[in-house]
Amino acid sequence: MLRETLRAEAPLVHCLTNQVTVNFVANALLAAGASPAMTDHPAEAGDLASAAGALLINLGTPNESSLAAMRQATQAAERSNTPWVLDPVGAAALPLRREISLELMHHGPSVIRGNGSEILALAQAEARGHGVDTRHTAAEGVGAARHLLAQWSALGGVAISGSTDHLLGRGDGDAVDLFALTGGSAWQPRVTGTGCALGALVAAYLAISEDPMDAMLIAHAHAAAAAEQAETQAKGPGSFAMAWLDALDGVELEPFLLSRIDSGAQDRA
Amino acid sequence: MLRETLRAEAPLVHCLTNQVTVNFVANALLAAGASPAMTDHPAEAGDLASAAGALLINLGTPNESSLAAMRQATQAAERSNTPWVLDPVGAAALPLRREISLELMHHGPSVIRGNGSEILALAQAEARGHGVDTRHTAAEGVGAARHLLAQWSALGGVAISGSTDHLLGRGDGDAVDLFALTGGSAWQPRVTGTGCALGALVAAYLAISEDPMDAMLIAHAHAAAAAEQAETQAKGPGSFAMAWLDALDGVELEPFLLSRIDSGAQDRA
Amino acid sequence: MLRETLRAEAPLVHCLTNQVTVNFVANALLAAGASPAMTDHPAEAGDLASAAGALLINLGTPNESSLAAMRQATQAAERSNTPWVLDPVGAAALPLRREISLELMHHGPSVIRGNGSEILALAQAEARGHGVDTRHTAAEGVGAARHLLAQWSALGGVAISGSTDHLLGRGDGDAVDLFALTGGSAWQPRVTGTGCALGALVAAYLAISEDPMDAMLIAHAHAAAAAEQAETQAKGPGSFAMAWLDALDGVELEPFLLSRIDSGAQDRA
């Protein structure tokens, strides 16, 4: 099973992420069994992305130096076939994030992970749209995710987070596989970085899995199962965050996986 | 009551703050019910400050990029009438912080929040003073706070943190209202970011309140009541920090507010 | 005893460290009783390093601005006789870290602290070596540490972290004192920043101790004893991190110190 493989192989996951949640993301990766590296110097980012098992690009708090590092890292990842995840934080509200996302997408992310509004923003930006609202559900982002998969041939999957997560990957021929995954805890959006950490977990599982859908499914299940276990321990958002890290290490995934994943329709795009 | 309004409206609070406590500040805002955004790219800071319900400027670890963002954000806040809080961290000891503070104060902060030495430093720097000690009590900062209110007509209030917090706002005519607030926990100065988070809470309450004194009072009471509840759970500074976040979410404020606020003298300046 | 002195004097420890663990390092210093300052503006770093009781340079996530600050701070520390600790994070894998380390070492660190591979990398880089593996034990770094002590006359000690920590200092004449210290918890490498915090604790104890070996020993014992106490409370890496901060404040050191330090051979180099 992928979870045990993650612990056994402890793949190096290079994260170019935001300063708000960089500590929490590193601790989430360690708790899940991966080896995080958060170097964001432009002179180091390319080499590290080439050496890593996977790369995470999270646009939470970009600055000119970290953007230069992201360019180096995504180019190196493309050259080295390092799978990478784009988490376009803020792309729904901030034009710069959409521009950066579209630029980096030319270097072939394996998976894009975001909320419904962010996924809609990326699809609309491509069509030069404007004024995307930030309050869409994951289900509302499904059409945009299909559009992204149709337009970007190297893209392996799109994960849309929400109260029900929607995961889209490539099926046979032009088909798109769609899975919906319920579960998790209402405390998750009350702690900064639970979404960022989920993007990092997708990257970690991509490092040990050939299939983007497998990586998205196990990462989302891992995060959600840990959240449900943490909720039983939590007295508030502070203790929830701590217990979620504990549970990323200790939670049993099999019962969760059997009960919470609904295989969606395999539609022609 | 303002606290329920904060949770109901979940105002966007834009924070340009330091990298040491940015995660803790975001989590404190989320725990209290606000929506934090910590973007510090100069190209985004102005738009976000205009769109936000309130802005926090915290000088903990400035760099050239974040300073450029602070300039954009405070100018945008002034144009857009976004209320904003200045937390002049380190202004007592570091000349650069005093210079930056004085520059930004021309864009009309609603509230300045700091310890006694920082408030003294801002008042003295204005008079080209030097060598301010960093060990003043909040009470020792009251004269300096009155001076700042007299000199800066757009300034709505000054909050001085200490074992007793002193809150100064504008009364009728030239009068200055003064409130003293006791309470809190001795663990607070043993955890980095409890002061930064307090500044952010003042900003959050400014987003939903017309009156700076109301915002200062409820923010300080919220932080102090949560600290007292957290202290009952804490075995040390680590568990105190976690329990404080829990308590920002769950603590009852009414009993605290009734017992701990002393209305000070309403003096002519 | 040094631990009580640390709490009584609460020395200012200036840390130029990485953005991943800067919050955890500040909280660890506060828990142990020191006064952290994490300013990394190049215009402030020199003054603060001169005023501080000790300085920590940690190379976890360097950028051009923080590197400029590190240059200012180490030069000021050298001029002001402020003791300082170099933590060459990543020096084993990343050439830029080795270059920076060697440049800064000309300003006379009191102690270098790292894992076995990092210490080997610094010694080999000096000899223009390449390709250092990152999986060495602390014991494997001892020869390299002796080499560093022989080459850099101002260097007072080298601390090599591992399942058994190896601490090397200057003895009589050309002799090198070697101590091995067992203990700690297997959770430590599962939480980001426990090593960074250990480097900061060495700096804190250097601020109140003339002797580098004393500072290294008490810092490592403090961290390890706290880790053992935290392990008894921990349900996973999240609760371990919290409990470790609690224990840095509350743990009893004397029993640990009596049982876990083995005085090594005092060999001629």
Q: Does B41 touch chain A (CB under 8 A)?
A: yes
- Distance in Å, alpha carbon of C215 to nearest chain B alpha carbon: 22
DSSP for B217-252 reads: HHHHHHHHHHHHHHHHH-SSHHHHHHHHHHHHHH--
Given pLDDT bands bounded at 50, 70 and 90, which one contains residue C126? low
Question: What is the biggest distance separating any 2 CA atoms in chain B, rounded to whole angstroms?
Answer: 48
Closest CA to A209 of A98, A23, A53: A53
3-state helix vs strand vs coil in chain A, percent to 5: 50, 15, 30
pLDDT at residue C124 greater than cutoff 80:
yes
pLDDT at residue B134 greater than cutoff 50:
yes
B193 is in an annotated binding site: yes
Architecture of the C2-268 domain: 3-Layer(aba) Sandwich (3.40)
Side chain identity at C24, as an amino acid letter? F
User: Could you say which of A19, A65, A237 has the minimum Cβ distance to residue B246?
Assistant: A237
- Separation CA C201–CA C207 (nearest Å): 10
Domains of chain B by residue range:
2-268
- What 8-state DSSP symbol labels residue C90? T
Joined tokens for residue C116: 């076995």
pLDDT score, position A268: 36
Give the whole-number percent of chain A exceeding pLDDT 90. Answer: 84
pLDDT score, position A257: 81
Residue of A nearest to C95 (CA): A44
- Distance in Å, alpha carbon of C260 to nearest chain B alpha carbon: 25
Joined tokens for residue A235: 């007295």
pLDDT score, position C268: 36
How large is the ipTM? 0.94
Given pLDDT bands bounded at 50, 70 and 90, which one contains residue B125? low
Can you give the pTM of this predicted structure? 0.96
- Separation CA A30–CA C190 (nearest Å): 6
pLDDT tens-place string over residues B81-90: 999 999 999 9
pLDDT at residue C171 greater than cutoff 70:
yes
- Separation CA B158–CA B122 (nearest Å): 11
**CB-CB contact of A166 with A140 (8 Å):** no
For residues C90-107, average pLDDT: 95
Sequence-separated (6 or more) residues with CB below 8 Å from residue B219: B159, B198, B201, B202, B204, B205
pLDDT tens-place string over residues B152-201: 999 999 999 998 999 999 998 888 999 999 999 999 999 999 999 999 99
Contact call for B20 and C43, based on CB within 8 A: no
Joined tokens for residue A107: 């270097």
Q: Which residues of chain A register pLDDT less than 70?
A: 125-134, 263-269
Residues of chain C contacting B96 with CB distance shorter than 8 Å? 41, 43-44
pLDDT score, position A126: 58
Given pLDDT bands bounded at 50, 70 and 90, which one contains residue B210? confident
- What 8-state DSSP symbol labels residue C264? -
Q: Does B195 touch chain C (CB under 8 A)?
A: no
**CB-CB contact of B65 with B39 (8 Å):** no
Scanning chain C, the segments in alpha helix (DSSP H) are 2-9, 22-32, 42-51, 64-80, 95-105, 116-126, 142-151, 194-206, 212-233, 237-250, 254-260
Side chain identity at C44, as an amino acid letter? E
pLDDT at residue B267 greater than cutoff 60:
no
User: Could you say which of A27, A39, A47 has the minimum Cβ distance to residue C61?
Assistant: A39
pLDDT higher at B258 or C75: C75
Sequence-separated (6 or more) residues with CB below 8 Å from residue A253: A1, A3, A218, A221, A222, A225
Give the whole-number percent of chain C exceeding pLDDT 70. Answer: 93
pLDDT tens-place string over residues A115-135: 999 999 999 865 554 445 568
- What 8-state DSSP symbol labels residue A235? S
Residues of chain B contacting A239 with CB distance shorter than 8 Å? 242-243, 245-246
Give the whole-number percent of chain A exceeding pLDDT 70. Answer: 93
Strand spans (E) along B78-162: 84-87, 111-115, 157-161
Q: Does B22 touch chain A (CB under 8 A)?
A: yes
Strand spans (E) along chain B: 12-16, 35-37, 54-58, 84-87, 111-115, 157-161, 165-170, 175-181, 261-263, 267-268
pLDDT higher at B124 or C267: B124
- Distance in Å, alpha carbon of C25 to nearest chain B alpha carbon: 9
Burial B206-245 (b: 16+ CB within 10 A, else e): bbbbeebbbbbbbbbbbbbbbbbbbbebbbbbbbbbbbbb
- Separation CA C49–CA C80 (nearest Å): 8
- Separation CA A230–CA A240 (nearest Å): 6
- Separation CA C44–CA C3 (nearest Å): 29
Joined tokens for residue C250: 């509350």
